[in-house]
Amino acid sequence: HLPEAPPATQNFIIPKKEIHTVPDMGKWKRSQAYADYIGFILTLNEGVKGKKLTFEYRVSEAIEKLVALLNTLDRWIDETPPVDQPSRFGNKAYRTWYAKLDEEAENLVATVVPTHLAAAVPEVAVYLKESVGNSTRIDYGTGHEAAFAAFLCCLCKIGVLRVDDQIAITVFLLFATFPFPVMRKLQKTYRMEPAGSQGVWGLDDFQFLPFIWGSSQLIDHPYLEPRHFVDEKAVNENHKDYMFLECILFITEMKTGPFAEHSNQLWNISAVPSWSKVNQGLIRMYKAECLEKFPVIQHFKFGSLLPIHPVTSG
């Protein structure tokens, strides 16, 4: 369950890194930030259970403004075409695109946050900037994805996004709008390297959360079972409704050769008998492979909304 919006007197701060060495990981796992972050992921996981991407929903003004923000990032990609360079990967035009975001992030976030919460903008904008990849290495991975989830979590904590009726919409519009068109477009346009990729043994080079929430969408589905996601026909017919299948489609577009070879982990998951088991397994795997890995968490930033201090009861 997520905490209510903070009191108006809250002192917002610019988030900074706190996990500098492997022994600091204990601090992270005991922190309020960890509890709130995982709570947010699981609340969204419940919220999308059994729902299609195409179900009818009412969109709040805040969500409309967020979608407009993402559309701006998308437009900037079109305005910043890749440059000719000898290396195939890590197109340097990404740095130009990133510099624009770096400069404009607070203005963009200010369009979403009401004026009485303007003090929160610099804190929240940091998570948006952290969520699009690394401009030095031109790479993208699950740590960047976590920063985007943290960005949405912060917007919930200051009361801009409401968790109740808006929950599935948050996932569908913002995660299905963001990692899919915008993130995938960044990855494809600038040939970004996967950050900390485990290659064949990882789930996907770039994302993890859409697999978790996507498997929740499919729980108790009348006929689609885990074995169907390696079936091209089932994927082509249903990917518009289900995030998990959208992920699979992207992988098959990006990789060549037999599925069992390029995506061994997912191939193994297709043998699991039920979507609820897949969902539980992926949550465990996410904690172990992403949230408990120092190379990922050393980049996570902590502020007043996602604080490093130990969990406070109450």
Residue 166: inside a domain, yes or no? yes
Place of tokens 């079109």: 78
pLDDT digits (tens, 9 = 90+) for 135-182: 999 998 888 999 999 999 999 999 998 876 566 677 777 666 554 678
Residue 313: inside a domain, yes or no? no
Give the three-state DSSP class for 138.
coil
CATH of the domain at 149: 1.20.120.1150
Residue with the larger pLDDT of the pair 288 and 202: 288
State the average pLDDT over residues 223-243. 93
CB-CB neighbours of 239 under 10 Å: 18
Residue 122: inside a domain, yes or no? yes
pLDDT at 120 over 80: yes
pLDDT digits (tens, 9 = 90+) for 32-88: 999 999 999 999 899 889 988 877 777 788 888 998 999 999 999 999 999 999 998
DSSP letters spanning 221-237? -SS--GGGGG-HHHHHH
Q: Are 229 and 244 in contact (CB under 8 A)?
A: yes
User: Residue 265 class from Cβ within 10 Å (0-12 exposed, 13-18 middle, 19+ buried)?
Assistant: middle
Residue 312: inside a domain, yes or no? no
Q: Are 219 and 275 in contact (CB under 8 A)?
A: yes
Residue 237: inside a domain, yes or no? yes
Q: What's the structural domain count of the chain? A: 1
Residue 212: inside a domain, yes or no? yes
Residue 288: inside a domain, yes or no? yes
How high is the mean pLDDT of the chain?
88
pLDDT of res. 200 = 44
Distance CA 176, CA 157 (A): 21
pLDDT of res. 140 = 86
For 61-79, give one letter per residue: b (16+ CB within 10 A) or e.
Answer: ebbeebeebbebbeebbee
CB-CB neighbours of 39 under 10 Å: 14
pLDDT of res. 128 = 96
In terms of residue numbers, what domain contains 57?
A: 21-302
pLDDT of res. 164 = 64
Give residues with Cβ within 8 angstroms of 144, minimum separation 6.
Answer: 130, 131, 132, 133, 134, 195
pLDDT of res. 62 = 87
Place of tokens 């695109």: 97
State the average pLDDT over residues 80-100. 95
pLDDT of res. 201 = 47
pTM: 0.91
Q: Are 49 and 213 in contact (CB under 8 A)?
A: no
Distance CA 175, CA 303 (A): 23
pLDDT at 119 over 60: yes
pLDDT of res. 261 = 85
pLDDT of res. 287 = 95
| Per-residue confidence band for 256, with pLDDT thresholds at 50, 70 and 90 | confident
Residue 7: phi, psi to the nearest 5?
A: -65, 155
pLDDT at 1 over 70: no
